[in-house]
A = this chain, B = another copy of it.
Amino acid sequence: MTKTDNLKNMLRPKSIVIVGASGDRSKISYKPISNLRDIGFEGEVFLVNPKYEEIDGYPCYPNIDSIPDNIDVALVAVGSKYVEEVLHQLKKKNIKSVALFSSGYSETGEKGQELEDRIAEFSNENSIPICGPNSLGFANVKDKTIVSFSTLEIGDYDPVAFITQSGALGSLSYTSAKELGLGFQYFVSSGNETSVDYFDYVKFMAQQDDIRVIGGYLEGARNFEKMSSAIDLCHQNNKPLVLMKVGNSSKGAEAASSHTASLAGDSNIYRNYFEQKNVVQVSDEDELIDTMSVFNKTKKSPQRGGLAVVTQSGGAGIIIADQSEIKDVQLAEINESTKEKLHEVLPPHSTLKNPIDFTAQVSQNPQQIVDSTKITLEDPNVESVILYLQMTDERFLPIIPELSKVAEETDKTLVLCWSGIKPETKEKILAQKNICWIPNPTRAINAVANVMKFYEKQEQQLDEVSYLVDHDNLTEKKDLKELDEHQSKELLRSYQIPIPNNFSINHFEELTDQFVNYPIVMKALHSEIQHKSDYGLVEININNHAEAQEAYEKIISNWEKHFPEHQNKEVLVEEMADEGVEVFVGCVNDEVFGPCIMFGLGGIFVEVLKDTAILPAPLTYNQASKMIRSIKSFPILDGERTGIQYDLKALTEVIVKISEFCAIHSTEISELDLNPVIVHEQGKGVSVVDAVIVDKERDLEKVNQ
């Protein structure tokens, strides 16, 4: 049993001990006690405090030795310097899990880090999961449990789990969710994640039958495998995972040593990876809560279709139409028979095509709002409906329960955007728990679009990785240190990656025409020279022996000029690849994701427009294929537009094989640049004409220079 199997003890405890609780109601260390009392925790509570016999009816013990064994969770409210001693005492009492709130750990420097490392070790060795340190704690409202110093105004809850790496942003979300009538069943502030990390909690939530939606703030994952398996479990168990990934500035990428690394930026990897895994990514605090609310409060329509807008305001309809174009959500084509039915119930000058605008006239007879919403929901082309109303109007109040009934009866997604209302009206709306209310048009469409896109992608299967390259049978096991271009290419060739025929020479005399298929290219070979063309060390378009001699001499002379210290001057002679579109395939070894494959069109598209996609290796054929299609400049490769069919199948296979090569050699390779890879016309394959492999040792040397 690993420590995270014990998360149930932590998050759904039957017994809690608070170490360091105060009976002084004015002190913050009294707060965990009052929190438990206020929420009405039904399990056992033990306190450790020699000064009291009991506090608020909970029994006090003079020390940890005297508490019962096998308590589910210990809330440890002592300063960081006493923590280790407390943990060891708790272990003797067979504690099941711990929550640590205090700060004074890794966030304060080296000593704190050391302490935290020891705590992590303690947790691992004893399989005792620890929440925190430096955390707000957690709450499980359904089980009337709160383990926290913070004041959370607990109210109704929905089957929603919120997990946050930032305590403050968690509190913010807690309040904003309440404003939409959304309550979190679970709220977890993961803190420094010494022992239990973000995706451990996600995995736990994905396993809970009574949880429908999981979401929160993520600064970064700590372990790719954990993240990956938690996300896959969410997918498998149909739990949407809605994340706001923060910390996306480009700082990290600046210091990177290679081309690929400088383009990567870990935020791009997260974005591409989450996109592929159908993790719902949101870009601001409101969108996070709105999206979770739509997932929770509305139904998943039985079939996919378009969005219909039923609106009291042309302007709001326009905003929603604008934004659905940006969010790539189709507006539904309203059926003729639906239009006829709408015509019967709506005021004369209403617009019957989507956005359906029933005009301000509807205030004369608000029942029309209910009827038209119902009719629109029944249209077979419609997957989701946003109903927009504005202003507080007493005459509209009677339709609130009616709208609730519509929401109950429909099997589709319905969101109410009623703006500019009085607080009393809002309360009346939120009292109908099944109405999903969002305060303005842009927020409504953004959330609905996220939900529609999620369901659309969810119907696709997750890919299974199956290696194209039979790497177990690869006879050639090379040492990957300080490879020059020729060696790099030989290695890649053994992975069935198409490299033009080539050989290397140490003297021009070694070049005899019988082995050469002109035109050829010639390049200086040296593992330390990175940008050969910049020094005149590459000659292309060599058509015969005479040109070859001239080219060779040019290269040698430039070489002597720029690198007089080099003794050996080996030159690569390679058949020149046919024409085609130049693309770029690279790999960067990310701290979290491991080797990641980057793809883009060559030259300007990578250098200037940074139009690239990046995903962790290895890739399936399907993933590689989607990756190729995901870049903005894909139409250049696309036969339908250019009239030329390029060999996309061969390109896809090469990307898959490169990804497999990088995955297999993830411990040795730091970076890889194949630039350019030439994609030829249909049936003619691709040619990898340049290859640079940076091994980890070489990369390290550079960093230390």
Interface residues of A (CB under 8 A from B): 103, 107-108, 150-151, 164-169, 171-172, 174-176, 217, 219, 246-250, 283-286, 312-316, 318-319, 321-322, 325, 348-349, 359-361, 388, 390-392, 419-421, 440-443, 604, 607-609, 632-633, 635-636, 641
Contacts and interface: CB of A to CB of B under 8 A. Distances in A.
A679 to B, nearest CB: 15
Contacts of A315: 164-169, 217, 219, 246
B349 A107 contact: yes
Given A151-B391, A246-B318, A247-B318, 14 more contacts: A103-B359, A103-B360, A108-B349, A166-B315, A167-B360, A168-B360, A168-B391, A169-B319, A171-B420, A249-B325, A283-B442, A604-B633, A608-B632, A608-B641
Contacts of A249: 321-322, 325
B248 A442 contact: no
Q: Which of A168, A316, A636 has the most CB of B within 10 A?
A: A168
A172 B325 contact: no
A168 B322 contact: no
B312 A441 contact: no
A683 B376 CA distance: 64
A80 to B, nearest CB: 12
A108 B246 CA distance: 49
7 contacts: A166-B314, A166-B315, A168-B314, A172-B420, A246-B315, A284-B440, A286-B286
Contacts of A169: 313, 315-316, 319
A423 to B, nearest CB: 9
Contacts of A285: 319, 440-443
Contacts of A319: 169, 246, 285
A546 to B, nearest CB: 25
Q: Which 9 A-B pairs have the closest CB atoms?
A: A166-B315, A168-B313, A284-B442, A175-B420, A172-B419, A169-B315, A168-B390, A608-B635, A285-B440
Contacts of A322: 246-249
Contacts of A284: 440, 442-443
A287 to B, nearest CB: 9
Nearest to A632: B609
A115 to B, nearest CB: 14
Contact of A168 (B283, B316, B635): B316
A593 B443 CA distance: 31
Nearest to A287: B442
Nearest to A321: B249
A420 B178 CA distance: 10
A442 to B, nearest CB: 4
Contacts of A219: 315, 318
A43 to B, nearest CB: 27
Contacts of A391: 150-151, 168, 171
Contact of A440 (B165, B176, B312): B176
Given A107-B349, A168-B312, A420 B174 contact: yes
A611 B286 CA distance: 31
Residue of A108, A250, A286, A314 ringed by the most chain B CB atoms within 10 A = A314
